[in-house]
A = this chain, B = another copy of it.
Amino acid sequence: MTKKQTEKAFLESYDIHDFDVPLTSVDMAIFTVRSEKLQVLLVKRAQHPALGQWALPGGFIDLKLDKTLMDTAKRKLYEKTGVRIPYLEQVETFGSQGRDPRGWSVTISYLALIPSDHITLGKDDSSEQVAWVPVDEAEDQYPLAFDHNRILEACHQRLRSKVQYTSLPVNLLPNEFTLTELQQTFELVLGNTVEKKSFRRRILDADILEATGNMKTGSNRPAKLYRVKPEGQSHFFTRNIEGPR
């Protein structure tokens, strides 16, 4: 018997149902900016366990539909928001004996950023109650299901941390935006102010934006409109931005 035949025989006799394995799911923190606040999407659980509690959207891997974990995340995001191509990044995997009453479970958490003008709730047929909640409120005033408060904090922390040295917040804005809007979005995510000149120098030197020539009009000098260059999605800067002391 060759080694290959042996492996084939092994695989034929293998059945995962014979083993004790953890439950494995995907949960995600979907962020956007609404009413000048960083907000996160929550769903009210329509099923046991934790029925009726607020939770991060998520669910099990569909072994038929999904080819990768990212597929599961994309599917969930689309079901909840109707957004197909957002910024999506894996954050951290939580797994323990007690985090789900059903037993040993593992959840892979994802961070999603979607533009504020792309929100179309209710594509989902699960008839779950869905709400956008300011992140600070969600962290401090909502007792989320399972360990979702911890997951949310991990995602929020990752977001804040990456904003220090990347251009991530462009994914929270519509296609076209002004530098002032971009700066305000940075400030929202960072939670502190940013020095205007340093910010503009940094963004423009990074060469990730292109002006669209149009102007945004108001009762003052119009601002140039920019959009992200095709390959400029996630640029890394060299230093931090800090506000005035």
Contact = CB atoms under 8 A, between A and B. Distances in A.
Interface of A: 3, 6-7, 10-11, 14, 16-17, 19-24, 48-52, 60-61, 63, 66-69, 90, 92-98, 101-104, 106, 108, 238-240
A3 B47 CA distance: 11
A19 B25 CA distance: 13
Given A48-B7, A102-B16, A104-B63, A68 B97 contact: yes
A68 B67 CA distance: 26
A17 to B, nearest CB: 5
A16 B21 contact: yes
Contacts of A90: 92-93
A160 to B, nearest CB: 14
A51 B2 CA distance: 12
Given A63-B20, A101-B11, A240-B238, A3 B69 contact: no
Contacts of A63: 20-22, 97, 103-104
